[in-house]
Amino acid sequence: MVKIYGSDSCFHCLKCKQMCEAMQIDHEYLDVGDRDVALEFKRLFPDAEGIPQIIWNNKHIGGYVGLTSEINHLLNIGEM
């Protein structure tokens, strides 16, 4: 399961969401514009300097680059 913390006004956030949809990866997109999501975001990522921030299987993998790396890794080992 992938959790994407992002914003609809962020290009990379939307690309992450689109990649998960295209690859049929189970994901949840959480908009940091929502007050409750923003509070959770600050608690989970107190030192984050931007969005998106992504959790894959309960592990923080970073942002857009982290997601593409994880997807490429899965494709290379044939788990998708």
Q: Note the pLDDT tens digit of each residue in 14-52.
A: 999 999 999 999 999 999 999 999 999 999 999 999 999
Query: Is the entire prediction scored with pTM above 0.95?
Result: no
CB count, 10 Å around CB of 53?
23
Distance CA 55, CA 2 (A): 6
- Counted domains in the chain: 1
The CA distance from 69 to 76, in Å, is: 10
Q: How confident is the model at residue 77 (pLDDT cuts 50, 70, 90)?
A: confident
Give the domain range for residue 66. 2-77
Residue 14's CATH number: 3.40.30.10
